[in-house]
Copies of this chain bind each other. A is one copy, B any other.
């Protein structure tokens, strides 16, 4: 293996923000400061669009105190972008790297970002430009291949489970139907996390709908009716990406029923349309009076002061490790392997090829979804609960013996 070049490095953050993507950034910065091979560390503002515009800040100058505040701040401290660079765009990126003598590229993001990193890496090889390109994983959707789980998921899962714990107690206090729409366009991990805080047999969410199990509106309503008949209330967690058995998403069906967007776009996040549609179905067809629906929206990915300590620490470690790998290996993506579970939960990191993570996504495993397709299994709780860093306990007194 060739020794690490003495050159400049660049780091950037891409895609949807998370609660710990800045912890990974700080991991990259603090580790980069330790290696004399890395001379300048550029922070590209707004991801790839900041690279081509050379919109750079000097990350070596961020003080230790500022770094610690950055590490606990939600969202992307360097900004983000939804650009999906094509070959010409990637060529411009490579031109900037050459111009600035950037030979270390750290890109924190999801599978699209891994792909961008992969493309640029291949272009550099072809151009015989020595570049060490590393992808650092992040996504609240938890849908990356190879890694056991993704930095960002544990914190979002903590938010969603704490929200459902509170919401279920709220629904006990003032009973009725409550529908909560949760992020995750194609993967049900975050929606499944709604159940992680359940303590009592009759705790909600009583029903969970994940994109991996398409369901008809009739089945959805029949499920709710059954729970409502038994408990006099029902709390439901629904993925924004739910689809019917014809594989048309529910969100698409709304635009058929109710032409609301003049552009014809189906927008999933940042709108209450799906939640309101489902509530109107329950009201209209089940004739239940108190029906409420909330869409968790951007709160579940960017909320100040609510990190999972496990997630934050792993995210930072992934950032540091990317820089360490770059000192000895040409390119790759950082991944996690679980080497202890339950109370002995523990991970180790390993390097995987960029192509293994690029583009492709993972869904909830069958073993994590119950037989009826409307709930989760203990195996999922065992998998996901440690990632939240533990959840608070709650008490409800209304089930005590009557006097």
Contacts and interface: CB of A to CB of B under 8 A. Distances in A.
A273 interface: yes
A62 to B, nearest CB: 7
A279 to B, nearest CB: 7
Interface stretch (A244-252, A297-305, A367-375): A297-305
Contacts of A209: none
Contacts of A219: none
A397 B43 contact: yes
B165 A304 contact: yes
A287 B323 CA distance: 43
A132 interface: no
B394 A172 contact: no
Number of copies: 2
Contact of A402 (B22, B55, B294, B297): B55
Interface of A: 13, 16-17, 19, 22, 40, 42-43, 45-46, 55-59, 61-62, 66, 69-70, 72-82, 161-163, 165-167, 169-170, 172-174, 178, 197, 260, 262, 269-273, 275-276, 279-280, 283-284, 291-299, 301-306, 391-398, 400-403
18 contacts: A16-B174, A17-B170, A46-B398, A73-B395, A74-B394, A77-B396, A77-B398, A162-B306, A166-B298, A169-B302, A170-B301, A262-B283, A269-B292, A271-B292, A272-B293, A276-B276, A295-B297, A304-B391
